[in-house]
Amino acid sequence: MNIKSPQTLVNEAMNEITTISPSEALEMLNKNQCNLIDIRDAVELQKLGRIENSLHISRGLLEFSIHPESPFVQNNNLDLNKETVLFCAAGGRSALAVKTLKEMGFKKVSHIEGGFGNMSSSGFKVIK
């Protein structure tokens, strides 16, 4: 049996996707050039807080919620022509999620290096 480790999957994804720094993401957010999507679980948001002006879609529902015809996109007026920037706690789940969105056909999609951990010390406002 040849089962890849989660880290191998993340490393493979990292070779195919765009990774941006927290400061790049903050600049894009401040210029209203991106959709900032938090894919952490609800329990993580309750425990650690959330990033101001980010939307929450848990990783398990991402592909269903981010589809252009989904109620989530329509109700939140998500402009999918903007860059869609994903983040999780440390960057592993968001790397895999960006790879999946690229497979779905998304072109403007990236994730934040180091995830929430780096963002909270890089100028993003955390709301408890």
CATH of domain 6-127: 3.40.250.10
Q: Which residue has the tokens 């996109």?
A: 73
Q: What's the CA gap between 99 and 31, in Å, rounded?
A: 25
Nearest alpha carbon to residue 63 among 81, 49, 84 = 84
Across the chain, what does the average pLDDT equal?
96
Per-residue pLDDT tens for 44-67? 999 999 999 999 999 999 999 999
Cα 13 to Cα 22, 31, 44, 77, 93, distances in angstroms: 19, 28, 23, 29, 10
Residues 86-102 have pLDDT tens digits of 999 999 999 999 999 99
* pTM passes above 0.85: yes
